[in-house]
Amino acid sequence: MYCVKLEFETINLGDRRLNARAVHIFNQLGLAPGRTIPQAFQSWKEIKASYNFFSNDLVSGEKLLAPHIEKTIERIREFPIVLLPSDTTEIDYTSKSAMKGKERLSNKKEGIWLHPTIAVTPQRLMLGVVEVNFWSRQPKALENSSTCRTARDKAPIEEKESYRWLKSYRKACEVAREVPGTQIIHMADREGDIIEVFAESIEQKLQGAYANFIIRSQYDRMIENTNDEESEIHKKLRQKLHEAPSLGEIEFMVPPTEKRKGRKVKQQLKAVTVTLVRKNKKEFQVQVNAVMAIEDSPPEGEKPLIWVLITDLPVNTFEEVHTVISYYLCRWEIELFFKVLKSGCKIEERQLQTTDRMKNLITLFLILSWRVMFTMMLGRVCSEIPCSDIFDQAEWKSVYKILNKKKNLPENPPSLGEFVTMIAVLGGYIERKDGGPPGIKAMWTGMARMIDFALAWEAFGEQETEHKSLANARNTYG
């Protein structure tokens, strides 16, 4: 399944043996991402070589990720529109007392801060990782002191934690210049609502190719007053949106969470074009479009569901506003990405001696997490292609036989859509006519079982063929 050598064909760690070792480690860990290094490598020699690899000074996360980014850019070129969501997650290593170099996550937790940017199509096909940013948080005493807060407010953006969001947008613009035939759209949740990104978009436009953006609003920002009779700024963004006429209504189901029940939601769509200004900085002005999806009549006891998005995409019609919202909903893929990394690859259960070594290991598992998501969604987007285009014979034949014990193997392999469902069934997915498509947990569990079956098929398949040949010969010649 999936040619590892092609994904890493341009890897350059400064030593051919290290290059080969990287491919081997990725291939072995990728057979079942949840397994530990000792489980993935059977001999002590292999286990020791793997640990030595991650501690080698020539190995870095940037070098490991570089060939994957190149392949991701190639995949991006194949699509007219690609979304680049980015987000921050914490990798909790509080319990790993022997690990050196851990960052402060909170007052009681330590670990590593991770901020990746991924590429996703509007059909939610995960194309890969385009950037990984490991960043640090200031010590608690400095962070909470009044002196620190004043200094932080006056500091340039490059010295602030929020700089990671600006870096992600700049990376999206770099990608846009590399793939001029593809529209690139940067996406961020509330934390990415920083004025520097909106200002940066103006500078990037002057350079030619640039990335559009969709960012969920966190702040009710001041806007320029358009009433000539009043000189003072008197409105904020949300007031302006509430006053705007409805462009239409959307209806959808909200899934249940720990804090709410699943229910049907109806939202009115509104949109405005405004000029954002900074308080006491009248020379600073940025024109943006804003979209509001607001629930007018929530059920009794439920808070209305309201989204406010800031974008530079057109929002003049209901269709354009609906497109902006549908794109933003694809940001959920980065949450699934973190789920695969933590629950599927079990990255928080792993331990190396230092966080620098852990960052190398995390980078490798980011690529493995992409592979799980790519395989799952490819089965939906390209469901009709033969599964043999993606999976080896031992993989699809062993799975087919396990699930269809009384049937002979088909002359032609199943379609990719059919086979992805088979993998999910191995992972606990229950196939129903009225059920939804397989989830990500069923996929990573099923893929791990598939690998075990494929290895057994390769180990015993040839012997079975030889036994059948001998039996046929005895029947023919007595």
pLDDT, tens digit, for every residue of 59-97?
Answer: 999 999 999 999 999 999 999 999 999 999 999 999 999
What distance in Å separates the CA atoms of residue 381 and residue 361, rounded to the nearest whole number?
30
Q: Reply yes or no on whether the pLDDT at 474 is more than 70.
A: no
Q: Reply yes or no on whether the pLDDT at 305 is more than 90.
A: no
Q: Reply yes or no on whether the pLDDT at 325 is more than 90.
A: yes
Residue showing tokens 């498509």:
437
451 or 164, which is more confident?
A: 164
- Read off the pLDDT of each residue in 341-356 and give the average, rounded to a whole number: 92
- Read off the pLDDT of each residue in 177-201 and give the average, rounded to a whole number: 95
Please write the tens of the pLDDT for every residue from 416-426.
999 999 999 99
Question: Alpha helices, DSSP H only, in 223-275?
Answer: 237-243
What is the secondary structure of 459-476 as a DSSP string?
HHHHHHHHHHHHHHHHHH
Q: What is the pLDDT of residue 431?
A: 83
CA 150, distance to chain mean position in Å, is 35
Q: Domains along the chain?
A: 220-310 (no CATH), 382-477 (1.10.740)
Q: What is the pLDDT of residue 27?
A: 83
Question: Alpha helices, DSSP H only, in 300-439?
Answer: 318-329, 332-339, 355-381, 393-403, 416-426
Please write the tens of the pLDDT for every residue from 248-296.
998 887 767 666 777 888 899 999 999 988 766 556 688 999 999 998 8
As a whole number, the mean pLDDT across the chain is 86
Q: What is the pLDDT of residue 130?
A: 97
Q: What is the pLDDT of residue 1?
A: 53
pTM for the full model? 0.86
What distance in Å separates the CA atoms of residue 344 and residue 46, rounded to the nearest whole number?
23
Instruction: Determine if residue 224 is left, alpha or beta; phi over 0 gives left, psi from -120 to 50 gives alpha, anything else beta.
Output: beta
Give the end-to-end CA distance of the chain in Å, rounded to a whole number. Answer: 42
What distance in Å separates the CA atoms of residue 448 and residue 439, rounded to the nearest whole number?
15
What are the φ and ψ backbone dihedral angles of 275, each rounded to 5 degrees?
Answer: -110, 115
Q: Give the containing element (helix H, strand E) for 307.
A: strand 306-311
Most confidently predicted of 89-98, 229-238, 296-305: 89-98
Q: Give the containing element (helix H, strand E) for 175.
A: helix 163-178
Q: What is the pLDDT of residue 283?
A: 60
